[in-house]
Structure 1
Amino acid sequence: MQPLRGTRDILPNETIFWQYIYNTVLRILTTSSYREIRTPILESTSLFKRSIGNGTDIVNKEMYSLIDQGNREITLRPEGTASIARSFISNKLYQESQINRLWYLGPMFRYERPQSGRQRQFHQLGVECIGSISPMADTEVIHMAIKILTQLNCKDYQLEINSIGDLAERNKYETDLKDYLKYYNRDLDIESQKRLEINPLRILDSKNLQTQEILIKAPRLQNYLKSDSMQHFNLVCKYLNNLNINFQINNMLVRGLDYYNYTAFEVKTHLLGSQDTICGGGRYDSLIQQLGGPNTPAVGWAIGLERLLMLVKSKLDIDCPKIDLYIATQSLAAKDKIWSIILILEKYNINFELDLSDSSFQKQLKRANKSKAIGCLILGEDEIQNNIVTIKWLVTGDQEIIEYNDFIKRIENNTLYIQNHK
């Protein structure tokens, strides 16, 4: 049996990196009062159709949807923001606090062609600041993203930001953009031709060189922005400068989801080829109301964990958890007594591995050496009869015979060799 195409196992020697990222993120975001939230993997299909938009590739091509036994349309979540917005509404989080700072980390699902850094089951880390219209909130979430990347030793990136205005400004721009592009319809790449009617703003994202040349003289969204949009964007830029965060204004940057307004931003790198976006996000002030909740502004972002790991894994100095004591036993009496020793080791956080093979001491000692433990605790018939334990210190080759009660006291008093060499 093999895993499904586009999915992969995360093995123990990899999970240590995932856990390190989780712990780093937890520490950084807790400092700034962000709280973790965990939403279901399954949601109603209508949630994503209403939030992401029927004209998007995600809804049209990429969602894993099915009819369950209750004849309900359900979907494996393709992204996190819609689920957070739904949870905010259904749990009435707006009654608890005016501002809700939330973060999440978990699997998402999209039917795409599997490639490096992009799987059909992938993982996203996301942050959502819900309840503030202030450009300070935009700045805060961007600051969180940059701080996380910096802490993970990811330095080769570029932050790009843009203002995509409000819905009315964008609709007027979209109409003029379509009128302009219709003259070049046959010259556009095939994907852009499809997007011309259903989602023309996405054409600005096209990587096709001929389409990019056509866009050079296209209308500019910035010319359609009114004072509120520009003032909001200018303040975000000012605050980012105050934080010494470098950025570039990219007037062609739009996000692929329908719910964004005002600020849009991406963190990109040249190290991942065509999959160059590490982090993407923006402001979505109408989404929560659109889903039936109160009129609540919000801003957030998501980072793809697989892509992030491709960038930082080699830079993280992380070792597998060390084994302090390898435990070798022989005889029924030793196997009976070892459990009292294990309780002591657990109490004082001494990492151990209990040999379960029932093989000879010689073979157990070979496994102990391969385990790279500091010492091997030996408990056999002689040890039981004389009420002692034998420890072979594998790092030095020395062997020590210790009376059982003295062994326990030395653990409790933190004077055992192992506790001075961890």
Structure 2
Amino acid sequence: MKKIQIVMPQMGQSVAEGTVIQWKKQLGETVQADEVLLEVETDKTTVDVESPASGRLASCLKHAGETAAAGEAIGWLEVESEERSDPEPPDALPISAAGAHRPHAAVAGDQITVTARQVQLDFNTAPMPDAEHDRYSPYVLRLAMLNSISLQELQAIKGSGRNGRTTKSDVLQYVARRPVAQPTVQALAGKEDLTPEDMARLGEVVPMNTVRRTIADHMVQSIRTSAHVTMVHAVDMTHLVNLRERIKDDFQKKYDAKLTYTSVMLFVTSRVLKTFPTINASVCEKNLILRKNIHIGCAVALPDESLVVPVVRNADQHSFPEIAKELDRLIAVARKKALTRADVENGTFTISNFGAFGSLIGTPLINQPQVAILGMGAVFKTPVVVDNQICIRDQLYLSFSFDHRVIDGAMGGRFLNAIQKATEALTEEVLNLKAL
């Protein structure tokens, strides 16, 4: 009898690994060529893996719930001698010989490199013991290397796989939680040490204040945590522009509040969010929390070029005049740098109006731990085709950034479409009611 290796198939260029769902055959059971042996799941699809030949299932190297890299051995098939055979895998060798063939992880500076025992290692590298190496698949080792995870860091990651093996998810979660290393002037200048004179030759060095450092940390952490995707929809603002011009003065006299496009968008968004609970949510480790309140933050630029995000609490329960007045209050307090903790905490969604500075389209970053943010561009006039006629209309681009771990493109598109339709349908009467 000869043995044929059963490997994890390559299922697309972007798919690096698969997880065994279940074996369709028991150990020792016979199988025909092209008969389904097991079911495998990737991050994109579920597929059946067929037998490469007729024979008997001799061993299963990966069991249900375990992950293997594409091309990695997951089992062995015993076939008649006339069938082709593959060499025994390293794990099938005696323990004394296994180390001579199996790849090992070694430390080279702060990077993890994968090498083999037969290769002459540098003097400062130390091969990983066989018992330790069994915890890591080649894919996990490569993922660690690409994310500059040292051997000591990798060994400290608690594995959630079978027998404590470290999985892809374990590494990615560690990367998301790992403190962000801040870029330094030294790195930019290409020198290890910079004297004050060196810095002066490069240019003026201005230390970031506490607020700017906090913003920087928060933005970088957002990029490292969420799978950002941005969609853009065009909104026909012609009717709203005309309505605002007609009633804004009377509105301010009556309610002592400005009728702004930001307050209008906050009002509309608060109503639409009630039908999209997954977007009014936050991520906590492996859980999604659907927030019971709708607290919408509004990014406010301050004179010193810093940024704060005061929150309109329970926005869906307030009329438009109440929202407009509260937003005016928060902006005024923010610019006096007198916001309280209650004014800025527990936001569930954020709106950023970069159109106030003339920008048309942006890609706003999600305010963690929220899962989405809506960006507003400037309102501008442009030729538009309406009923097969070219006419000049007032347009606004809405940029919706969302966390693709939680929100799919279809939901993002439906949400933006609902915002667009609700905005274009606004009337003077609606702006004085609590619901659309």
TM-score by length of 1: 0.25
Highest relative contact order (Cα 8 Å, sep 6+), 1 or 2? 1
- Greater percentage in strand: 2
- Greater percentage in helix: 1
TM-score by length of 2: 0.25
